[in-house]
């Protein structure tokens, strides 16, 4: 019998699921709300139930499943199967996620951080093109990252390896970051960070912009508004996109100099801007990268969208022996 892999992408509001074959093709995918009430004690039970219900709906036996891989929102100790912190879910520190998942699902389980799973997904089936040396940065509400070297995720001593969002790019007078530092990449390259750059540019320059009109009519602007304006050659928006390209290009070039990966993949909501973002980042990447790195490491926009997490989580199941 051909076995299926279960990929789970656990988020603070929704939990995404997929059944995949061993070639990484998604056969079925669905999602449920994440119940964070009562310190998140129903989360794993709901996941186990949802998998069983889907099997029943598809008229398949439990034996069809090889195991479950899960990406979780926080730093993870993969070997112990614990998540150190998951503030958004209500779980206490050092939560024994892998064991609970195995008990409730009756399946072998493996866990990693959600950004790492997205990186694995892009490595396996997306813009990483199967390369064993891939770096993935996700520009969303925050900025996440995953570093894959020799086919292995870099976890570091406390699970905080690959925290690309907290590389310092504004050493002085940077904006405060959720992590407690200032001037992190996340403060300038997340969806809210890009909007903040635009508001700063409005206050510090006289450049004309359609964005000023939006703000003065008390509309909220989004990162998409900024990229759309830049595509129409709006001067202020172009300045902001160039600033973002500088910060991201600087951080990625320095990472590139350390790792010389085959690919650096840029994903998350902000990356939907596409070529205009990529072109600005590439310019600064070339400028700051060691020449061999500039010539051999390529930059690309992620290609899997929201499926990267479940695909990467399913890939982890293949590593279970
Ligand atoms: Zn930070």
Say how many Å lie between the CA of residue 247 and the centre of ligand 1: 14
How confident is the model at residue 213, as a pLDDT? 85
Say how many Å lie between the CA of residue 56 and the centre of ligand 1: 44
CATH of domain 4-121+307-318: 3.30.420.40
Say how many Å lie between the CA of residue 301 and the centre of ligand 1: 23
How confident is the model at residue 316, as a pLDDT? 96
Query: What is the rounded average pLDDT of the residues 176-192?
Result: 95
Query: What is the rounded average pLDDT of the residues 304-320?
Result: 95
In the predicted structure, residue 147 carries a pLDDT above the cut 80: yes
Domains 4-121+307-318 and 129-303 share a fold: yes
Please, which residues have CB less than 5 A from ligand 1, an ion?
A: 166, 177, 179, 181, 184
In the predicted structure, residue 21 carries a pLDDT above the cut 90: yes
181 vs 51, 173, 248, CA distance in Å? 40, 11, 18
In the predicted structure, residue 135 carries a pLDDT above the cut 90: yes
115 vs 6, 73, 154, CA distance in Å? 18, 8, 12
How confident is the model at residue 267, as a pLDDT? 94
How confident is the model at residue 24, as a pLDDT? 95
Query: What is the rounded average pLDDT of the residues 301-305?
Result: 94
Say how many Å lie between the CA of residue 275 and the centre of ligand 1: 27
In the predicted structure, residue 2 carries a pLDDT above the cut 80: yes
pLDDT-derived band of residue 17, with 50, 70 and 90 as boundaries?
Answer: very high
Give the span between the Cα atoms of 14 and 316, in whole angstroms.
Answer: 21
The token pair that represents 185 in the structure block: 């990449």
Say how many Å lie between the CA of residue 41 and the centre of ligand 1: 29
In the predicted structure, residue 37 carries a pLDDT above the cut 90: yes
Query: Please, are residues 139 and 191 in contact by the beta-carbon 8 Å criterion?
Result: yes
DSSP 16-53: EEEEE-TTS-EEEEEEEE---HHHHTTHHHHHHHHHHH
In the predicted structure, residue 159 carries a pLDDT above the cut 90: no
Q: How high does pLDDT run on average in the chain?
A: 95
Say how many Å lie between the CA of residue 2 and the centre of ligand 1: 44
pLDDT-derived band of residue 198, with 50, 70 and 90 as boundaries?
Answer: very high
Question: Comparing 14-28, 159-173, 212-226, 255-269, which segment has the lowest mean pLDDT?
Answer: 212-226
How confident is the model at residue 128, as a pLDDT? 85
Give the span between the Cα atoms of 10 and 313, in whole angstroms.
Answer: 10
- The residue to which tokens 């059944």 are assigned: 19
Give me the residue spans of the domains in the chain.
Answer: 4-121+307-318, 129-303
How confident is the model at residue 215, as a pLDDT? 81
Query: What is the rounded average pLDDT of the residues 16-27?
Result: 97
Instruction: CATH number for 129-303: choose from 1.10.3720.10, 3.40.50.300, 3.40.50.150, 3.30.420.40.
Output: 3.30.420.40
How confident is the model at residue 172, as a pLDDT? 96
Query: What is the rounded average pLDDT of the residues 49-61?
Result: 98
- pLDDT tens for 209-267 read 999 988 877 778 999 999 999 999 999 999 999 999 999 999 999 999 999 999 999 99
How confident is the model at residue 1, as a pLDDT? 82
Report the sign of the C-alpha dihedral through residues 139, 90, 31, 221, in that order: negative
3-state helix, strand, coil split of the chain in percent (to 5) is 45, 20, 30
């Amino acid at each position: 019998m051909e076995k299926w892999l279960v990929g789970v992408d656990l988020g603070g509001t929704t939990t995404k699921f997929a059944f995949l074959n061993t070639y990484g093709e998604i056969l079925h995918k669905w999602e449920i709300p994440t119940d964070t009430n009562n310190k998140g004690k129903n989360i794993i039970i709901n996941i186990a139930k949802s998998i069983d219900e889907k099997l029943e709906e598809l008229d398949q036996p439990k034996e069809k499943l090889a195991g479950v891989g899960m990406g979780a929102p926080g730093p993870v100790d993969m070997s112990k199967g614990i998540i150190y912190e998951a503030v958004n879910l209500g779980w206490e520190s050092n939560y024994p996620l892998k064991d609970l998942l195995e008990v409730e699902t009756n399946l072998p389980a493996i866990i990693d951080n959600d950004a790492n799973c997205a990186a694995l997904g892009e490595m396996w089936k997306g813009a990483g093109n199967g390369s064993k040396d891939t770096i993935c940065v996700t520009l969303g509400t925050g900025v996440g990252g995953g570093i894959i070297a020799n086919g292995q995720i870099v976890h570091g001593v406390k699970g905080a390896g690959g925290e690309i969002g907290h590389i310092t790019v504004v050493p002085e007078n940077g904006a405060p970051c959720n992590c407690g530092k200032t001037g992190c990449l996340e403060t300038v390259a997340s969806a809210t960070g890009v909007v903040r750059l635009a508001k700063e540019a409005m206050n510090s320059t006289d450049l004309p912009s359609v964005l000023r009109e939006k703000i003065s009519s008390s509309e909220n602007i989004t990162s998409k508004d900024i990229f759309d304006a830049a595509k129409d050659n709006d001067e202020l928006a172009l300045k902001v996109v160039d600033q973002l390209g500088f910060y991201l290009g600087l951080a990625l070039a320095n990472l590139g100099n350390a790792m010389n990966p085959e690919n650096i993949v840029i994903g998350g909501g902000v990356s939907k801007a596409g070529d205009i973002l990529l072109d600005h980042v590439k310019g600064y990447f070339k400028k700051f990268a060691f020449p061999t790195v500039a010539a051999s490491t390529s930059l690309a926009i992620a290609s899997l969208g929201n499926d990267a997490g479940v695909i990467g989580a399913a890939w982890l199941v293949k590593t279970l022996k």
